[in-house]
Structure 1
């Protein structure tokens, strides 16, 4: 999937998602090849939005071969500095309860669990 990522298309800036919410998609490269991407935008969950989390991080993926090298942290920093994030006091995201590595990553960035969702 990542090998088909069009980095130039991603770099053109925010666009509307299928749901109509404004989204920003960002890619990170290593020697000209995409190694990861992230997407952020306006919150789609009413409960989180009502709780002060007007922004949403919808996806963050880095190739396993490039993890633990700073790319995740770099992408999070990029999202935090974009116009999409500037108008939002805080952003929320969902992480599977059993995904201890990712939960620890967000914890290291001062993220905290504010709720749980069971499906």
Structure 2
């Protein structure tokens, strides 16, 4: 009811998903840079671009890059809630092993303080 669907606009000169250019030419629109020796593939669309057009936001993969960035941020921010057991699997399942390691650490701290 009055709500318009968001249009997926691509930046001017960006190429669509179909690319008729040879693999050694930058995949961005009318760019004719040769990329056989230094061109980089986009990790979202796997097409090769010159250094001027490799940024996802420049050649049309900005939405995919933003989504991946948000997912990575969310994963990084929640990793601390999983607990210490996942950091060192050798002591993850045993309370006794954790106590031994904690005691060793306390001993090392005492030794360092006493020096």
TM > 0.5 fold call:
no
**Structure with larger RCO (C-alpha < 8 A, sep 6+):** 1
Q: Which has the larger radius of gyration?
A: 2
> Higher strand fraction: Structure 1 or Structure 2?
1
What TM bracket, shorter-length normalisation?
Answer: under 0.3
Which has the larger share of helix?
2
Q: TM-score, normalised by structure 2?
A: 0.23
Give the TM-score of the pair, scaled to structure 1.
0.22
